[in-house]
Chain A
Amino acid sequence: MSVEKTNSVANRQVVCDVLVEYAGQNRDLVVLTSDSRGSASLANFAEKLPDQLVEVGIAEQNIVSIAAGLAHSGKRPFVASPACFLSMRSIEQIKVDVAYSNTNVKLIGISGGVSYGALGMSHHSLQDIAVTRAIPNLQVLLPADRFETEKMFQALATSDEPAYIRIGRNPVEDCYDSSDYNFEIGKAVTLRNGNDITIVATGETVRIALDASDQLREAGIEARVLNYHTIKPFDSETLLQAASETGKIISIEEHSIYGGLGGAVAEVLSEKTGVSHKIMGMPDEPAITGNAREIFDHYGLNSQGVRKFALEMVKEHVR
């Protein structure tokens, strides 16, 4: 699985393909866009299934409430809107109309994290996991690559629970060889075995964790890699097993160091164990601007960064 591939298919493209497929079989599946069909790669959906696409214009509060109304009347709405606006501007509609009223709405935050890196903090979504994770009755998911995106959206197309899914803008390198595997919402995937340290990652940082694990192996360290494609409900069991077997944990995410995957990991560990845990993510400040890769590197969110902390933590432990 460590073979490097150059993938040119963005996860958002996969989202569109899966939605076209399922919507073709079920006319209750509808997609809502906020002048965002282009950035969501949903132009193909709009062309093929115009009667199942609802355009609401640039109005994120409205898009969530309308989706809730559609769901209440038996539709299966998928909302596709930039993560930065969807998770902030309409957070109350998400809380009240979707989660509290329990409507089957899938909220797709497109161009998440620092996908729009050069556009500035207004367009970054580095708090979305924290705010959505704190709302009861809302699943939170981030796919690692195109194969996982496919599996995830197949599962979402037939699930009846409200969910927020963050999707990046650019193609990411594959973490899986194919989509021929079992995917289960709420169940973390162990992508690498190892007993020296555990790297917990989600979304686009899973590939980084895998690369770091490969580099660490060269240094004689076996790093376990856990892919948390579902942040909520959080799979405590897989984490606690890794904690007891490896004793050290690094979490890495394209999100503030507060309240995201690192927060979830810390909550479980602090209640149940005494392992050392390094939270790698974005510092508590407006993120520097640039392309996503430059931003990741600037904050050390790359395999070398993980490797550095892992080496420190493992050595410390040995001493």
Chain B
Amino acid sequence: MDTTINALEMKAVDIRRSVLTLVKEGETGHTGSDLSCTDILVALYYNILNIDSKDPNDPDRDRYIQSKGHAAEVLWAILADKGFFHESELSTFSKFGSRLIGHPNNKVDGVEMNTGSLGHGLSVSVGIALAAKMDKKPYQTYTLMGDGELAEGSVWEGAMAAAHYKLDNLTAIIDRNGLQITGKSEDVMGMESLRAKFEAFGWHVIDVKDGNSMSELVEAFEAPTKTGKPKLIIAHTTKGKGISFAENQPQWHHKVPSDSEFAKAMEELDVRMEVLANER
């Protein structure tokens, strides 16, 4: 058993607990979307990103832009855990006057840009990665998009520009869970083949078959870049991952669990944690 991967997997269980608690206590949140990309964010924040909560504005830090801003709860859970703010502040989530709102808010250390309107993050990341090229700085830029988001035309403006400027210091990740509020993404607006589309746009594309597999995600992030090409990781994820009754259910996009659902979800996470502990 790879101890690094095992530790990351255990961290992901912990973060899922925090996400559910945030949504439950805040009485709002995008539960399914959070759980879908929890493993991606854990891989990034605990294994890939060069960031330090003690120096959140270090000019050489890696940048993470969460284009799918609605999955804010998972970001808050992680930033608190990483020490960007005190964990006690989590209890203010969604409450009157809180900094911790339903979308990333750059009044909080660790949040680079405000997002929430879909289709902005890739273009913003192009600007950040382009600045790194101009200044010959080594930092990497990462952006996470949802798959429903790809219907926004601005995404493709950004995709074009990233390839045009040969931004091999930029990695975009698509949280390809196949669902959005209305139902299946392919029914709402067909977008396949994503790989062929991005390759045609000049990107280096990596498919991650199980986008909730920590080992597969880490391998994809660590895969060497192709010189002159921006990198796209298509993570084939499961919406609501980790909670049996929420998995692949579009209504869990922004559902708040009932008391019994919350208790059952926490039980499932406890079982998962036990399994991982035994694997050590």
Question: Chain A: residues with CB nearer than 8 A to chain B?
Answer: 30, 51, 54, 56-57, 59, 61-62, 65-75, 77, 92-93, 96-97, 100-103
Residues on A with beta carbons closer than 8 Å to the beta carbon of B145: none
Are A70 and B114 in contact (CB-based, < 8 A)?
no
Are B161 and A56 in contact (CB-based, < 8 A)?
yes
Residues on B with beta carbons closer than 8 Å to the beta carbon of A67: 127
Instruction: Identify the closest chain B residue to A30 (Cβ).
Output: B134
Residues on A with beta carbons closer than 8 Å to the beta carbon of B106: 101-102
Nearest CB on A from B45, distance (A): 19
What does DSSP make chain B's interface, helix, strand, loop or mixed?
helix
Are B59 and A65 in contact (CB-based, < 8 A)?
no
In the complex, identify which listed stretch (B25-33, B48-56, B117-125, B271-279) lies at the interface while the others stay far away. B117-125
Name 7 A/B residue pairs within 8 A (Cβ), A-sorted.
Answer: A57-B164, A65-B124, A69-B128, A69-B130, A72-B112, A72-B124, A77-B127
Are A75 and B134 in contact (CB-based, < 8 A)?
yes
How far is B115's CA from A51's CA once the two chains are assembled, in angstroms? 29
How far is B161's CA from A30's CA once the two chains are assembled, in angstroms? 17
Residues on A with beta carbons closer than 8 Å to the beta carbon of B132: 73
Are B125 and A69 in contact (CB-based, < 8 A)?
yes
Are A73 and B116 in contact (CB-based, < 8 A)?
no
How far is B95's CA from A146's CA once the two chains are assembled, in angstroms? 50
Are B127 and A101 in contact (CB-based, < 8 A)?
no
Are A72 and B113 in contact (CB-based, < 8 A)?
yes
- Binary flags per residue of B190-212, CB closer than 8 Å to A gives 1, else 0: 00000000000000000000000
Which residues 81-118 in B have Cβ within 8 Å of A in the complex? 106, 112-117
Are A69 and B131 in contact (CB-based, < 8 A)?
yes
Residues on B with beta carbons closer than 8 Å to the beta carbon of A57: 160-161, 164
Residues on B with beta carbons closer than 8 Å to the beta carbon of A101: 106, 113-114
Are B116 and A96 in contact (CB-based, < 8 A)?
yes
Are A70 and B131 in contact (CB-based, < 8 A)?
yes
How far is B164's CA from A57's CA once the two chains are assembled, in angstroms? 10
Which residues 45-73 in B have Cβ within 8 Å of A in the complex? 59, 63
Are A59 and B157 in contact (CB-based, < 8 A)?
yes
Q: Given A69-B128, A73-B128, are A96 and B120 also a contact pair (CB < 8 Å)?
A: yes
Instruction: Identify the closest chain A residue to B165 (Cβ).
Output: A54
How far is B52's CA from A133's CA once the two chains are assembled, in angstroms? 38
How far is B126's CA from A54's CA once the two chains are assembled, in angstroms? 12
How far is B186's CA from A4's CA once the two chains are assembled, in angstroms? 65
Instruction: Identify the closest chain B residue to A69 (Cβ).
Output: B127
Residues on A with beta carbons closer than 8 Å to the beta carbon of B161: 56-57, 59, 62, 66
Are B134 and A51 in contact (CB-based, < 8 A)?
yes
How far is B129's CA from A62's CA once the two chains are assembled, in angstroms? 14
Are A70 and B154 in contact (CB-based, < 8 A)?
no
20 more contacts with CB within 8 A, not counting A62-B161, A65-B154, A66-B123, are A30-B134, A51-B134, A57-B161, A59-B157, A59-B160, A61-B153, A61-B154, A62-B126, A65-B123, A66-B124, A66-B158, A66-B161, A69-B113, A69-B123, A69-B124, A72-B112, A72-B124, A96-B117, A97-B113, A101-B113
Among A51, A93, A96, the one with the most B-chain Cβ atoms within 10 Å of its Cβ is: A96
Are A61 and B127 in contact (CB-based, < 8 A)?
no
Residues on B with beta carbons closer than 8 Å to the beta carbon of A59: 157, 160-161
Are A100 and B114 in contact (CB-based, < 8 A)?
yes
How far is B131's CA from A70's CA once the two chains are assembled, in angstroms? 5
Are B157 and A96 in contact (CB-based, < 8 A)?
no
Shortest 9 CB-CB contacts between residues of A and residues of B: A69-B127, A65-B123, A73-B131, A62-B157, A66-B127, A69-B128, A59-B157, A61-B154, A69-B124
Residues on B with beta carbons closer than 8 Å to the beta carbon of A65: 120, 123-124, 126-127, 154, 158
Nearest CB on A from B140, distance (A): 12
Instruction: Identify the closest chain B residue to A52 (Cβ).
Output: B134
Instruction: Identify the closest chain A residue to B125 (Cβ).
Output: A69
Residues on A with beta carbons closer than 8 Å to the beta carbon of B158: 62, 65-66
How far is B127's CA from A69's CA once the two chains are assembled, in angstroms? 4
Q: Given A51-B134, A96-B120, are A72 and B157 also a contact pair (CB < 8 Å)?
A: no
Nearest CB on B from A56, distance (A): 6
Are A96 and B130 in contact (CB-based, < 8 A)?
no
Nearest CB on B from A293, distance (A): 36
Are A97 and B120 in contact (CB-based, < 8 A)?
yes
Residues on A with beta carbons closer than 8 Å to the beta carbon of B112: 72
Nearest CB on B from A113, distance (A): 27
Nearest CB on B from A59, distance (A): 4
How far is B133's CA from A66's CA once the two chains are assembled, in angstroms? 13
Q: Which of B59, B120, B129 contacts A93 (CB 8 A)?
A: B120
Among A59, A62, A70, the one with the most B-chain Cβ atoms within 10 Å of its Cβ is: A62
